[in-house]
Structure 1
Amino acid sequence: MSFSIRVDEDDQQVAFAGMLRPFIGDHMKAIRATLEAAAKNARAELCLDFKRLKYMNSIAFLEINRFVRWAVDARPNLKIKLIISSVIPWAIRKFQVIEQLYPNVSVVIYDKSLYPIQQVIEDEDFLKVLRTQEKIVWEHERSIISKHGLLPGMRVADIGCGLGDFGVRLSDEFKVEYVLGIDHSRVLLRYAQSVAMGLRLENVEYQYGDAAALLLPDNSYDFVSCRLSLQVFNQPERILQELYRICKPGGRIYITNEMMSNIAGYPQQDAIRWTYDQMIAMGRKLGMDMDFGFKTREILLDTGLEDVKVDLININNMNTDPFDLAKVVESWWYVIDQKAEKTGADAEMRERLRLGHTAHVEAIVSERGYASWPIYAGSGRKPLRPI
C-alpha cells in the first residue's frame, strides 16, 4: 500500500505513513471521518504523527488544514500536536503554517530531541575522529563479519552509516549486491557520497534519514547493520525496532557498541580510568550510553531475534599498530572536550580530563605500556515467522 493511517486511542494519536496523493478532495472522505472520530474521542490532546509520511500533495494538505480548522471550532479546548521530522523538509514548511494560524495547534520536530549529540556529530571536525577510527576497527571487524551472517550478493542497509566506509568495504571485499547507508548528519553524508562517486560505485547509495523512523519498506534487507551508533542515541530501542522491521525474515541484524568502562591503560591507570569514568557520566547527561556494549546480548534478545552471536573486539596496542591506535585515541580529545563544554565542566575538570587522555595516548606508544579499547559486536536472526 502507498498510504496507511493508524489510530491509537490509548495514546490519542493518529499516525500517517507512505504517500498521500488524492486526485480530488472527495478521496479524503474516509481519512476525514477517521480524524474527526479521533478528535471527538480525544480527551485533552490529539497527536497527528506525520514523521513517516514521505509525500503529501496540495489536495491532501488542504483537507488536513480543513480538518484542523473544524477541530478548533468543534472542540476549542482540544490541543492538537503535529509531529513531523526534519528528514522531510516539506513537512516543516507546510505544517508550521498551520501552527501560526491556530493558537491551540503546535508542531514538534521530534528528531531534534531524539539526537541530543547531533550538534557534535554535525561538526566538520568530527570527521577526523571517524576517519581514523573506521580504519582501525575494520582491521579487526573484517575477520568476524561473515560469522555474523554477511554473504556475497546480499542487500545491506547500514543505519547510522557515518562516513560510509563500511558500505564501500562491503561492496569491494564481500561483493554484496547493494548497500544503502542512512545517517542523520548531512556533513557525514556529503563525505560518504563524494567517496562513492569518486570510486564510481553504482551499488552503494547514501540517504539522509532518521534511524528511528526509516522511510524504507518492511522486510526489505538481508543484512541490517548499526555500528557504534546505538550508544549515542537516547532512545536506542526505537532504532532497534526499525532495524527489525526492515530486516527480511531469516536475515540478520548486526550491531557494535563500546564498553568505555573497560578501557584500560598502564601506566597512570588511575588517571586514565578517571577520565573515561567522567566520559561515561558526561555522556549520560547528553543522552548517550558509552557502556552500551554490555547490553548487546540482552538488547538483541529483547528485540525478538534468535541465534544471537556476540564477539568481543579487543583492540589494543599489542594486536594493532600502536601508532595507528594512538592516532585514534588522540582524535577522541575533540569529543571529550565537546562533551565537557556541553555539560558545563569547569577548567579544573577539563584539565584533569586532558591529562588522563594524554596518559592513555602515552600508554599506547610506550614500549612498557598497555592500552585497550573494547567493542562488543553482536548479531541475531529475524525469525521466519512472527513470534
Structure 2
Amino acid sequence: MHRVSLPEKQAPQPHSSPFYSHLVPAYQAVWPAVAKRRMSAAIKALNIPAGAKVLEVGVGTGLSLNSYPTNIELTGVDLSEAMLAEAEQLIAEKKWQHIDVMPMNAEELTFEDSSFDIVTSFHTISVVSQPQRMMAEIVRVCKPGGRILMINHFRSDNPLIAKVVDSAGNITKRLGWRTDIELDEVVRELPLRLDSRYKPNPLSLFTVMEATCKPEQVVLAP
C-alpha cells in the first residue's frame, strides 16, 4: 500500500492543541502506559475478519497499530503530520504492508460514503472542535451493518463525579481537550445501534463504546 497525500490546497493545518504540534515526545513517553493495553484489548475483542477494511480516526503515532490483525486493510488518519511521521517510521520498521496512514481532518473525512467495514477512534473526539460532526463523519464512511469502536472520556452519569471532572475543564481546554462531552449527545439522531458501553474497570475515567452502523439499511441475504 502507498501513502496517499492530500492535494496541497486541502492539506490540513496542525491542530491548535499543543498535543498536535509540540508534544509528540511527551505523548510517546507517557500515553502508552496509560492507554495501550486498553486499546489493544478492545481491538482484539472485535475479532476483525480477514480482508476487512478498517479506518482508525486519530491514529496519532501509531500506538494501536500492532494490535490489529495483519490480514486486513487498515487506514489511519490524523491531523498531526508530526505524529504521522512517527507512525510511518513504525510502519517502515515493522515492514507492515497492510497499513496506510495519511493526514486528514476527522471532521472532514475525504472518503466516500460506506467505505469501511470497521471504524475505530481512540481518545480523539475530545480534541476536535466539533465532536458531533466527527461522529457523523465516522458514521457516514462506515458501511451499513459495519462496526464502530470508540474509547474516550465522556461526561459521567454520576453527578458527583461529573462535577469534580468538570471543575478541571478550564485547565484541560487550555491543553486542547474537553471533559464535558456527553456520549448520548454525540450519537443523538445518528443511524447507530449502541451495542455496548462500559468502563474497562470501575475506576477508569474512560468509556469503551461499540456500535453497529446504519442497521436499518442492512439487506439480509435470501
Aligned residue for 2:205, secondary structure, equals strand
Alignment of 1:283-322 (within 5 A): 283-284=172-173, 288-292=177-181, 295-314=182-201
**For the Cα contact (< 8 Å) 2:39–2:64, is it kept in 1?**
no
CA distance in 1, matches of 2:138, 2:179: 20
Name the one with the larger helix percent.
1
Q: How many residues align?
A: 209
1:217 shift after superposition: 1.8
Question: Using a 3 Å threshold, how does the CA distance of structure 1 residues 289 and 247 change in structure 2: closer, same or farther?
Answer: same
Alignment of 1:1-387 (within 5 A): 88-90=7-9, 115-117=15-17, 119-123=18-22, 125-147=23-45, 149-153=46-50, 154-171=52-69, 175-259=70-154, 279-284=168-173, 288-292=177-181, 295-314=182-201, 373-386=204-217
**For the Cα contact (< 8 Å) 2:152–2:208, is it kept in 1?**
yes
Deviations 1:76-125 (A, max 9, x none): xxxxxxxxxxx542468xxxxxxxxxxxxxxxxxx66x9442x44211x3
User: Taking every aligned residue pair, what percent have the same amino acid on both sides?
Assistant: 19
Can you give the 5+ residue segments of structure 1 that lack an aligned partner in the other structure? 1-53, 55-86, 93-110, 263-272, 316-371
Cα RMSD of the aligned pairs, angstroms, is 3.2
User: Residue 62 of structure 1 aligns with which residue?
Assistant: none
Can you give the 5+ residue segments of structure 2 that lack an aligned partner in the other structure? 158-162
CA distance in 2, matches of 1:383, 1:227: 21
CA distance in 2, matches of 1:282, 1:88: 36
Deviations 1:259-295 (A, max 9, x none): 5889xxxxxxxxxx98x65542233467742243xx2
CA distance in 1, matches of 2:120, 2:191: 16
**For the Cα contact (< 8 Å) 1:231–1:288, is it kept in 2?**
yes
Q: Give the TM-score taking structure 2 as reference length.
A: 0.78
CA distance in 2, matches of 1:253, 1:209: 19
1:152 shift after superposition: 3.0
Aligned residue for 1:210, secondary structure, equals coil
Aligned residue for 1:129, secondary structure, equals helix
Question: Using a 3 Å threshold, how does the CA distance of structure 1 residues 278 and 189 change in structure 2: closer, same or farther?
Answer: same
Q: Give the TM-score taking structure 1 as reference length.
A: 0.47
1:241 shift after superposition: 1.2
Q: Which structure ranks higher in relative contact order (CA pairs < 8 Å, sequence separation ≥ 6)?
A: 2
CA distance in 2, matches of 1:306, 1:169: 25
